[in-house]
Amino acid sequence: MNLSVYFVTPHNPDDSLVLAALKGGASIIQLRDKTAPDELLIEQATRLNKIAQQYGIPLIINDRLNVALASGAAGLHMGQSDGDPVAMRKALGPDRILGLSIENEDQLAIAAALPEGTLDYIGCGPVRATLSKKNHATPIGLETMGRIARAAPFPCVGIGGVKLADIPRVKAEGCAGLAVVSAIASAEDPEAAARQLVEAWEAA
């Protein structure tokens, strides 16, 4: 599983934005929408999953297990308040991807004690304050992100206000990738922005 450039969609994303990220080389896509009705999100996730499969890229659903299962998506990403990872793994089965947000080292210790095979990766942050997610946890900074990444028994992606210029540091701190929203979604040319991130990661 390649986590190097992990694109998390803004809420209510247009399909064309996801396609642009795929064309630009994003290695994994997370569909995140906290407000859309399940029926509409399942329809969109089903469409996007087919597109992502054409590129050989996993589509992950944020938070909503029923949407992940109904759409055939590659997996689920859950936050600290989204339920029990063991129960989520049981519902997903062994072959789908399961990720968990980690905000501090205490949460990492709990995650590390989960049965082997429960989690495939963690998202570590927020590194900085970000406008793309309301009510996020206190920013942890790159240094704490690195401590968590190095201590984690599974791959870690840095998330929360990380951008192109952070790539060398994020990679040097032991992360498997960086997760971005606005660095692609708010760019004038999202496809070019994704490609620039991919090239920078590979060169770092």
Count CB neighbours of 195 within 10 A.
19
- Which amino acid does the sequence have at 9? T
Answer for the pair 128, 161: CB distance below 8 angstroms, yes or no.
Answer: yes
Q: Please identify every residue annotated as catalytic.
A: 32, 101, 133
Answer for the pair 44, 21: CB distance below 8 angstroms, yes or no.
Answer: no
Answer for the pair 144, 156: CB distance below 8 angstroms, yes or no.
Answer: no
Answer for the pair 10, 181: CB distance below 8 angstroms, yes or no.
Answer: yes
* DSSP conformational letter for 164: G
